[in-house]
Structure formats: C-alpha cells, structure tokens
A and B are shown apart, each in its own frame.
Chain A
C-alpha cells in the first residue's frame, strides 16, 4: 500500500472516530437537557459519586473554565479540574446536580483520536504528493476540517465549549465524508500555475480561516436557536429543544462567536491580499473578478457587514448573528459552488 492510500485510509479512520464522537456529543447534550428537567431524579439515581458529581456539575455547567472533567473520578481523588474555579459566565447553564457527563468524555477522547488520525492523513498526503497537502478540493476539505477540529479542541483547553462539539464535529463529518466520497483525487504533483510558495501561504491561511469560521458559525447558530427558545418561540419550546437551556447565555455565545470571527476575518483579509499578490505573479493582474475572487469578496463584505452590525444600534445580537449564518453560507458556496459550477481561473478541484 502506498503512502497516498494509507493517507486515505487514515482519513476514513478519522471519519469513523468523528462519527462516534458525534453520537457521544449528542448523548451528552441530551443528558444535559434531561438533567435540567429532572434534577431531583438525577440526584437520587447516582449515589456512587454524589459528592464529586456535585462539584463537577457546578464546574462544568458554568461553561467557564473547566476542561475535560472526568465525572467517573472516584470520590476522594483530587483533580485540578474539580478544584478549579467555577467560571464567571453565569450560573444559568448549571445542569442538574449529579448528572453524568461520561458521554462527553468519550466524545472528547474520540475527537482527539480522530484529530490524530486526521493529522497523520494530511501529513502522509503531503508526503505522497511531494508538496503541501492543500492543492485541490479534496485536500482543502481534508485540511479545512482538520483546522475546524483543532480549533474546537484548542478552545476546549481554555474554556468549556464542549457544547459546540456536536455541531462542529457534525459539520466536519459531513464535509470530510463528502470530500472523500465526491472530491477525492489521487495524490499527485501540481501544474505550473500552482508551483509557487504562495500555495503554501495563500491556501493555508484560507484553510485556517475556513476552519475558524466553521466554529464561529456553530456558536452563532446555537445563539440564534437559544435566543428563539428564550423568547418563547413556539417551534423551539418543545421538550427536545431543552438542551438549549444547558448552553451558556446568548450573550456569551455571541461573544465567543465574535472572537473567533474577528480572527477569521483578519485571516480572510490576508487570504485575499496574498491571493492578489499571487495573482499578480501568476496571471499578471492582482484582481480580475474571477468567480473565486468575486465570492471571496462577497464573503469579506458579508463578514465586514457583520462586524459593523455588531456596533450598530438595533442590529447587534440576534440580527448580527444572522450575518454570520449568511457569511458562512457564502464561505461554503465559495468553496463548493464556485469550484464546481463556475468556469474560472481557480479550477483546481481536480475533478
């Protein structure tokens, strides 16, 4: 088996790990919701770790600073996580006391395992092709999803955003699955137009920006859902949406989304500028309204509008979050639609 095939196999391995993680994240969210609904029952039903469980629930539920809280820790075991401060993001998200978050532990472990396989897959792909592994649509998907997962796990180290797990891993699973099934091309060297160090700079930053914007999209989507439920939306008042109550406040979600979007926007700005420099080298013009350029511009303008909306009376909060959804839709279209439907100079899908 060649290096390229091994890379593909590892990518499928990552898909499998993410699939398990997705199930576990969903179970965890459902349990969180259950915990909110039946706190008394949960307290009575889990005697074996009642003392530790109480602390855990306070820490994890506050969505503040705890990370990777192992609920199954036997009573008496000291753990830095358990002793950690309960965070400052408001107690609103506190779940029922004593509820188990065993599932989220499984989810985080399998996500980390998936990321490991994912990194190996990307590295081997690069070795097999003899260049950086982001020169066609499959490879862009492979690395973009990798950045999304890595961003999510990195965020988890600083604050408890595990509630984003099901959405981020779900999006990654879809993207990577589609990438492997529909965009896959064997590893190979690239044509002269791509033989430039700008491939390393321009495309890697674009990939990272896409990964970041995926995570902030997840946060804004949850913000809108939770906001709707808080406002008493008929559609979201059903019991199965109770898990929204377990999330941090809409204000925290908005702040989280903004922070990631700010980084994503700066990186996207850089992507466009680096692309213009490369275009000037390769095609003799820095800007030519190629379909990819048009849509990169549209993405930039929508996220710029988002940043402005946040500071405009009557447009912050809920309305600003819609901009993130529209912005992410343009990001996805820029990647898929423009590559597949339009004729342009960025025809590097290899399909």
Chain B
C-alpha cells in the first residue's frame, strides 16, 4: 500500500511532502548562511507555519472591527483620539486606526502568501508528474483493504476485464472517471488497476493560485482606480473632472487625463417612505440626463443597488437630502447671495443641518446663517421638530451670525460648518440667540438690520460616488476559479480499485479490492458497481 494513501487529515497528508525539514531535528550545527536561508525558507513554507499565519491573520483582523478606522470613518477616529488622550496616540502610532494598511497586518498576509507560493510551486511540479502517472500495480493480497468483493461468472476473463474497464471509465470518453490499466501476471491471472481523483489536487492548486490571482488583481486595481464623491442638486449638472468632485482620490498609476469628460444632470429626485411614524425609506430614484462626449444625450435613472455605468466608471447613489434655494439681500438692499445650499439630513425624519455663508455684502459685516431644515415641521412650546421626511410643511429654523466668515484667509473651510471665531451671534435682549423661522416662499427680515432672507424653492440633492476599477472583472474571474477549485478539491473522492481475474474449474473468479484516501462513504458502492457490471455479463 502506498504511503500517500493514509487517511485524509492524518499524518502524511497532501502537504506532507513539502515539510521534510519539520520531521528531522532542527538542532543541526553549522548550517551556514545558505543553510540557514534554506532552513528559514523550509520553515516558512511548512504547513505548520502556514497554519500559525492563518490563525494570526484571523487575530490581527479583529482590531479593525473594534476600533474606528480612518478610511471608513475619520470623524470617529478623531472623536476616539479626543476621548482617550492617554492610550489613543499610542494606538495611532501602532497603526490601529488603519489596521488593514498597517505594517503588521500586511506582514502577516504577505508572509502567508509567500508561504503559499513556496508550497504551491513544488506541489504543482509534483502534480504535473502525478497527473500523467498510471495507476499503481495490483497488490498481491487483497485481504488488508477496507473494501473487498468477489464474483464468480461464466464469462471469459477477457470479457470480464472489458466490462470492468467500461464500467470504470464511464461514458464520457474525454473525462474518464477512472484511469485504468490491465495486465497479465506471471501466474496467468489478469489484473485491472484503476485510480480516480487526480482532479482533487488540481482543484486544490487552482484554489490557491486563484487566491494569489485575487491578491494581485486587488493590488493592481488599487493602483489604477479612482473614486470621487459629488453632490448634485436637482436641475444642476456635474462634469466628470477632478475639480468638480467634492472629494477625489486615485491610485498611484492613475492618470487624471484619462477621465472621460461626460456630464450628468439631475432632472428629478424621488423619495418614497412608509406612511407610518417610522417613515422607513422604500425607494430612491434619481432621474438623470447623461451626455458622453460624441454621443447623444440619454435619459436614465440611478437607484440604490442599480448603479449607472458611464465613461468606464460606475455612479452609485449614496445619499440624498434637501438643498433650499435661498436669496439674501444685504442691509443696503443689494443682492448678496442667491443659490442652493445643501442641508445634511441627521435623522430618519430628515431633520437637516446646514450653513449659509453670505460673504459678498455691499456694506457692513458678512453674514452667516446656521440652523435646521424641517421638511414637515411641528412647532410646539418646547421647540420645533420634523415629523416626516417629505416636504409637506417645510420650515427653516436659523440663528444669525455677523462678522468675518474667514473665507479670505486662504484656509480651506468645511462648507457645513461656520467658523465663528471672528463672528458674533445675534442675541435677544435676554441673551438667548435670536431664532428666525422661515416658511417656503416667505421673505423675512434678518435680525440686527442685516437684510432680508427669501426662501424661493426646495429642490432635493443626491450624493453620488463615482468609482472606476479596471480590476473588477479579474477579481470576479479569480473568485469563481477559487470557488470551483475549492469545491473540486473538497468533494472529489480519491479512490484506487483493483481486480484480479482468474480461471478456476472452468469458471471465472473475480476478486476486487478498493482503497480511498480518507473516509469515503461511497467506496463500497464504487466496488459494487464494478462487480455488478461483471455479473451482468452472465445475464445477457
């Protein structure tokens, strides 16, 4: 019985041939430099180290789910740093706020893949020889085998061998179930040796190579990709240029000139919610008009789960809200501001916060308005709140600041925050901030004689992500290959089967034995099938 047919999952499994070093004592004197390197390589590519690295990979992945991560939520990281002044800076230095790009996480998976390559390459060589190998010779004695069978038939030995061959090979000529050899022994007995399951190792290798392919594709995609975010108000457009994005990032190998200069206009945005108090979202549709260079305008829509593909990139609908259309006249009655201002929704009822900055006043100080938009307002003694996300009774609740907006300092500002260090809030006589309430279509006086505010309309906005990653088809292809390889390697049984056909007293005696790698419930059935095929010869 051959060595590699020990039960699957026990000593001497399929990986065993790659770790001969692990079996010998490692306390060898004077390995030398090359020897040490070779020893290290052998250790790294040994199954035991691969196992350690796998466990380590599971452990080092966990902190990224517990601690806030900078790529996902930089604001949460900033909060954590502020809340934990003692520990957080150290965690930051050790890369705990960007675990998946940290040195230690990278080290683990890179070592793991090096180990994988070191394991897969020799095994591929071995396997390429093995797939051409013939089934092992028929053993002299069958009594040690887990599955045995015998039959006595009248058919001639040659017929028996032929029937066994047909049964073992199966009907698909190109992909035989078993690889079959027959022979005649010195004593005159005919033997059939068959083996199946070569695909098991093929699948295993395919799986591991496909993992390597996924890693390489992901890395390539990281270098070539770009992604940007933009906010588009109803009736307005967006042009695909780096300057038109609110945020934009790209891989090191990305060329900004490769951006296809398409334009996209948001014609209408529709939102649907359940009518109960929870107002759960049910549908968001952005009807857009797309113009690609050299092509006709096309009208289409973007929905959640249904991104729009344009200019090689995909446009994803990530958020939505209201952008009130406002006009501000300054104290002198001159037009100081006219435009839409996006208010960011903060809860399920679309209570939205926004800032209106009015720097271009003809006289006096600059004006800043901070406050909330309530799509369906309910005003009570204790305050105002929004009770539904649709604009059934919209109301703006604003406080007013005057002074220097700080826009001329050259320092980039957050459009959703008012820089109040150089500004004073307009207060009531009792010291509380003056609050102005504005209904849609109304014009109100700004307190402190700062001018007037008119609310002209309430368009919606959509927040879209634009992504381009040329590696996606490759990642998908390698993923499918990995899944196929994995299934084949786990579910292909490896079996060997032998028959010895002798003539005794004018009849033909067939003895059979079968052996499987690992536990194999179907082994007896496999032998029975062959025996039945042999017995069927007599029934003709």
Contacts and interface: CB of A to CB of B under 8 A. Distances in A.
Given A283-B318, A294-B61, A301-B57, 12 more contacts: A188-B274, A189-B282, A195-B283, A196-B305, A270-B483, A273-B479, A277-B476, A286-B475, A288-B71, A297-B61, A312-B48, A316-B9
B491 interface: yes
Interface of B: 8-16, 19, 22-23, 47-48, 50-51, 54-55, 57-58, 61-62, 64-66, 69, 71-72, 99-100, 218, 227, 274, 280-284, 303-307, 314, 316, 318, 465, 467, 472, 475-476, 479-480, 482-483, 486-487, 490-491, 518-519, 524
Given A311-B14, A312-B15, A301 B61 contact: yes
Nearest to B98: A289
Contacts of B62: 294, 298
A192 B283 contact: yes
B318 A258 contact: no
A192 B476 contact: no
A252 to B, nearest CB: 8
12 contacts: A269-B486, A282-B304, A284-B318, A289-B99, A294-B62, A305-B51, A310-B9, A312-B15, A313-B16, A316-B11, A330-B58, A338-B65
A265 B10 CA distance: 20
B472 A280 contact: yes
A282 B8 CA distance: 42
Interface string A215-227: 0000000000000
Contacts of B48: 312-315
B486 A258 contact: no
A302 B60 CA distance: 12
Given A262-B491, A289-B100, A276 B305 contact: no
Given A284-B314, A301-B61, A302-B58, A308 B51 contact: yes
A13 to B, nearest CB: 29
Contact of B64 (A196, A282, A289): A289
Contacts, number: 142
A196 B281 CA distance: 15
In this complex, which of A259, A287, A294 has the most chain B Cβ atoms within 10 angstroms of its Cβ?
A294
Q: What is the interface residue range for chain A against chain B?
A: 35 or more
A285 B475 CA distance: 12
Contacts of B304: 192-193, 195, 282
In this complex, which of B307, B480, B482 has the most chain A Cβ atoms within 10 angstroms of its Cβ?
B307
A302 B55 CA distance: 7
Nearest to B519: A255
A282 B317 CA distance: 8
Contacts of B227: 284-285
Interface string A192-235: 11011010000000000000000000000000000000000000
A320 interface: yes
A286 B483 contact: no
A290 B476 contact: no
Interface string A157-188: 00000000000000000000000000000001
A312 B50 CA distance: 10
Interface of A: 88, 188-189, 191-193, 195-196, 198, 254-255, 258-259, 262, 265-266, 269-270, 273, 276-277, 280-291, 294-295, 297-298, 301-302, 304-305, 308-317, 320, 330, 338, 342
Contacts of B50: 308
A285 B465 CA distance: 10
Nearest to B271: A192
Contacts of A273: 479-480, 483
Given A273-B483, A301-B61, A191 B54 contact: no
A131 B58 CA distance: 35
A286 B469 CA distance: 10
Contacts of B282: 189, 191-192
A265 to B, nearest CB: 7
A294 B65 contact: yes
Given A288-B72, A295-B65, A310-B8, A305 B483 contact: no
A27 to B, nearest CB: 30
B39 to A, nearest CB: 18
Given A269-B486, A312-B48, A313-B11, A192 B303 contact: yes
Contacts of B476: 277
B490 A265 contact: yes
B479 A276 contact: yes
A65 B480 CA distance: 36
Given A191-B282, A305-B58, A312 B51 contact: yes
Contacts of B479: 273, 276
Contacts of A193: 304-305
Nearest to A338: B65
Contacts of A282: 304-305, 316
Nearest to B479: A273
B145 to A, nearest CB: 13
A255 B12 CA distance: 17
Contacts of B66: 342
Contacts of B13: 310-312, 316
Contacts of A255: 518-519
Given A284-B307, A284-B467, A289-B72, A192 B487 contact: no
Contact of B61 (A254, A298, A313, A320): A298
A298 B58 contact: yes
A109 B50 CA distance: 46
In this complex, which of A269, A297, A311, A320 has the most chain B Cβ atoms within 10 angstroms of its Cβ?
A311
B305 A195 contact: yes
4 shortest interchain CB distances as A-B pairs: A311-B13, A310-B9, A284-B316, A192-B304
Nearest to B22: A313
Contacts of B11: 313-314, 316
B490 A262 contact: yes
Contacts of B483: 266, 269-270, 273
A270 B491 CA distance: 15
A271 B315 CA distance: 25
B139 to A, nearest CB: 21
Nearest to A276: B479
Nearest to B318: A284
Nearest to B306: A281
A265 B491 CA distance: 12
Given A294-B61, A301-B57, A191 B281 contact: yes
Contacts of A192: 281-284, 303-305
Nearest to B101: A289
Contacts of A301: 54-55, 57-58, 61
A311 B15 contact: yes
Given A312-B13, A313-B11, A290 B72 contact: yes
